[in-house]
């Protein structure tokens, strides 16, 4: 047993394993072997798990078989069950290897969230139970993706939310690192399943990770990077399948290399475009539209208001596909109150983005992105740009080839010199 003094002096490491990494009982045994052989006295370990493989998707499918639009409390109770299976199996596997371990649900280890079912936010973590278990020499295994609201209800954090649990625990426990174990070697310059020759980064900044993740790079949840950035806890993204150095995500001041102008080409299929036609040209109307969207907790990713003719204009915005049902209801209401002549929702669109912290200070990058898309005959529907990102909405069916072409423009050996520091 670790003495109290030793315990408080011993740094904590948080490891999070994603769905593929615990996708079968043999994978869970492999993780147990890995943990058992790497355990040492120089750190204390908290392990956060996702549900096994595609379990969460299967639970969503089940819910759709009993109701058209599953949501709210019952949905969260259902979805949260997936992680309970994986943590208890890892607990058994570790104990079988002689490792003292205990699995806990997020509620049992004090993860408190707000009351927004399906997309709750962690408000606080009461760490005493975890600390007590670690002090007793146990590896603590925690269900990712969930928490307990003030009303004592089980909530979930949104898809991919186990990364957020890992990050929040790392911060709450003052961990020296939050390790994210996944099915790829680290963070690449594009999704390696779409761009096989994507570049693996040794390190990127928190800001770059947030921009990449929020524009579709699924490897890390953007809120996980935000949480770690706020408290300066480094994230180490690594493969659970192979040994490798992975990617460090940390503050710019701690980085060894100068950042590249473009660090990633991200893509997001899970978006939809809403166009409001024949919108009367009068003050306060855009405010009304976006207040209604905010009232439904819908965040909008891109907005274009085009000039009006004959007193009627057009407002276009892009939102996450999950918000389409709510947007449909709002569209019908807006039409009936005369706020717009029609509300058209298109799901067959996608977003392609280039990301980099020196984007704004490096001239010509937008032109290169647009030229490549044009040379492939890909029509750009909407464009948005910010300090670190240029995003284009295009037809979903052209997405993968566009990602490969844009990636090639910025990362192929012959063109790289002008883009990568
Ligand atoms: P986990 O189940 O471990 O949470 P995810 O499926 O959520 O894993 O995320 C890992 C996947 O993210 C990879 O298999 C990869 O296809 C995808 N991905 C998308 N963009 C990137 C990127 N830029 N770098 C690495 N992986 C990426
Ligand atoms: N199991 C949840 C999901 O599939 C959470 C996670 O894997 O991060 O979204
Ligand atoms: Mg994930």
pLDDT of residue 415: 60
Q: What digits encode the pLDDT tens for the residues 65-82?
A: 999 889 899 999 999 999
CA distance 28 to 88: 10
Question: pLDDT-derived band of residue 418, with 50, 70 and 90 as boundaries?
Answer: low
CA distance 136 to 202: 36
The burial class, CB within 10 Å (0-12 / 13-18 / 19+), for 60 is: middle
pLDDT of residue 4: 52
Mean pLDDT in residue range 152-176? 97
pLDDT of residue 1: 39
pLDDT of residue 3: 46
pLDDT of residue 304: 86
Is 166 near ligand 2, meaning CB less than 6 Å away? no
Say yes or no to pLDDT of 102 above 90: yes
Is 162 near ligand 2, meaning CB less than 6 Å away? yes
pLDDT of residue 350: 97
pLDDT of residue 107: 97
Q: What digits encode the pLDDT tens for the residues 250-270?
A: 998 777 766 778 999 999 999
CA distance 402 to 125: 42
- Fill in the DSSP letter of residue 254: G
Mean pLDDT in residue range 276-302? 91
pLDDT of residue 419: 55
Question: pLDDT-derived band of residue 421, with 50, 70 and 90 as boundaries?
Answer: very low
Mean pLDDT in residue range 342-356? 96
pLDDT of residue 2: 41
- CA dihedral sign of residues 405, 411, 415, 418: positive
CA neighbor of 20 nearest in space, from 48, 57, 51, 53:
53
**Which residues have CB less than 5 Å away from ligand 3 (the ion)?**
18, 160
Can you give the C-alpha Rg of the chain in angstroms?
Answer: 23
Say yes or no to pLDDT of 416 above 70: no
**Inter-residue contact 405 to 384 (CB < 8 Å):** no
397 CA to middle of ligand 1, Å? 21
Ligand in closest contact with the CA of 57:
2
248 CA to middle of ligand 1, Å? 15
Ligand in closest contact with the CA of 214:
1
Residues in contact with ligand 1 by the CB-under-6-Å rule are 18-21, 50, 160, 182-184, 187-188, 190-193, 212, 217-219, 264
Say yes or no to pLDDT of 207 above 70: yes
CA neighbor of 136 nearest in space, from 100, 163, 106, 172:
100
pTM higher than 0.75? yes
213 CA to middle of ligand 1, Å? 10
- The atom number, within ligand 2, closest to the CA of 145 reads 5
Helices of type H across 173-296: 206-214, 222-231, 285-295
Q: Which of 28-42, 170-184, 400-414 has the highest mean pLDDT?
A: 170-184
Helix pair 222-231, 206-214: axis angle to 10 deg: 160
Say yes or no to pLDDT of 19 above 90: yes
For a pLDDT cut of 90, what percent of the chain falls above it? 82
Say yes or no to pLDDT of 8 above 80: no
178 CA to middle of ligand 3, Å? 14
Q: Which of 180, 183, 215 to mutate to test the pocket of ligand 1 (most atoms within 8 A of CB)?
A: 183
Mean pLDDT in residue range 197-220? 96
Is 82 near ligand 2, meaning CB less than 6 Å away? yes
Q: Which residues contact 157 (CB under 8 A, 6 or more apart)?
A: 113, 119, 120, 121, 122, 145, 146, 147, 164, 165, 223
Question: pLDDT-derived band of residue 414, with 50, 70 and 90 as boundaries?
Answer: low
pLDDT of residue 215: 94
Is 56 near ligand 2, meaning CB less than 6 Å away? yes
């Amino acid at each position: 047993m670790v003495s109290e003094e030793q315990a408080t002096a011993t740094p904590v490491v948080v490891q999070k394993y994603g769905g593929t990494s615990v996708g079968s009982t043999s994978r869970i045994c492999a993780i147990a072997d890995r943990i058992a052989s790497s355990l040492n006295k120089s750190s204390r370990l908290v392990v956060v798990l996702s549900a096994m493989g595609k379990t969460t998707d299967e639970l969503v499918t089940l819910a759709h078989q009993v109701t058209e639009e599953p949501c709210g409390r019952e949905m969260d109770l259902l979805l949260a069950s997936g992680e309970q299976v994986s943590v208890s199996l890892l607990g058994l596997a570790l104990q079988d290897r002689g490792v003292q371990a205990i699995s806990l649900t997020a509620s049992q280890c004090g993860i408190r969230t707000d009351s927004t079912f399906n997309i709750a936010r962690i408000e606080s973590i009461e760490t005493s139970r975890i600390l007590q278990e670690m002090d007793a020499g146990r590896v603590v295994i925690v269900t990712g993706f969930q928490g307990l609201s003030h009303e004592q209800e089980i909530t979930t954090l949104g898809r991919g939310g186990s990364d957020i649990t890992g990050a929040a625990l790392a911060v709450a426990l003052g961990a020296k690192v939050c390790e994210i174990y996944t099915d790829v070697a680290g963070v690449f310059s594009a999704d390696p399943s779409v761009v096989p020759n994507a570049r693996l980064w040794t390190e990127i900044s928190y800001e770059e990770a947030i921009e990449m993740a929020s524009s579709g790079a699924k490897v890390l949840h953007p809120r996980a990077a935000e949480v770690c950035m706020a408290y300066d806890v480094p994230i180490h993204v690594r493969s659970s399948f192979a040994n490798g150095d992975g990617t460090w995500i940390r503050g710019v001041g701690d980085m060894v290399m100068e950042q590249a102008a473009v660090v990633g080409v991200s893509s997001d299929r899970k978006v939809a475009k809403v166009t409001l036609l024949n919108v009367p040209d009068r003050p306060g109307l855009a405010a009304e539209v976006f207040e209604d969207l905010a009232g439904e907790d819908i965040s909008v990713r891109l907005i274009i208001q085009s000039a009006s003719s004959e007193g009627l204009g057009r407002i276009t915005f892009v939102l996450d596909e999950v918000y389409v049902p709510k947007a449909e209801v709002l569209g019908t209401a807006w039409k009936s109150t005369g706020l717009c002549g029609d509300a058209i929702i298109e799901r067959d669109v996608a977003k392609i983005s280039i990301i980099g912290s020196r984007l704004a200070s490096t001239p010509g990058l937008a032109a290169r992105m647009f030229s490549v898309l044009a040379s492939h005959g890909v029509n750009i529907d909407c464009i948005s740009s910010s300090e670190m990102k240029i995003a284009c909405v295009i037809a979903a069916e052209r997405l993968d080839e566009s990602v490969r072409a844009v990636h090639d423009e910025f990362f192929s050996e012959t063109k790289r010199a002008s883009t990568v520091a």
